[in-house]
Amino acid sequence: MSNEDIIRCFENDAIPEGSFHHADHVRLSFAYLCEYPLLRALEKFSGALKRFADLRGKAQLYNEDCFPHLRFRSEYAVVSAAGEQVQIHGRG
């Protein structure tokens, strides 16, 4: 699945209930960082996660303080996605 597909699926709430886990969260953050400049990625990612939590009646799980970590990942992020190493450098 491409970065665009992952983002579109998430933003359209096409994720089955109970199937969004930590690895999916990391992969989604990577997709946003690859597709958008840093500040836009932070804005879109945090907004999408807030909507996702709200739609599931779990707004208390959303925490804005979690998102500054993306800034560090934008300088040098290594994510294992689908069994392969993917690297981005100085994105944003």
Tokens of 91: 């994105």
- Whether residue 87 has pLDDT greater than 60: no
How far apart (Å, rounded) are the C-alpha atoms in residues 85 and 80? 5
Q: Is the dihedral of CA 36, 68, 59, 20 positive or negative?
A: positive
pTM over 0.85: no
pLDDT tens digits, one per residue of 24-81: 888 898 899 899 988 888 889 888 988 988 888 877 666 665 555 554 454 444 444 4
Please count the structural domains in the chain: 1
Residue 18, domain extent: 3-89
Q: Please report the pLDDT score of residue 72 as a whole number.
A: 47
* HEC-encoded secondary structure of 25-68: HHHHHHHHHHHCCHHHHHHHHHHHHHHHHHHCCCHHHCCHHHCC
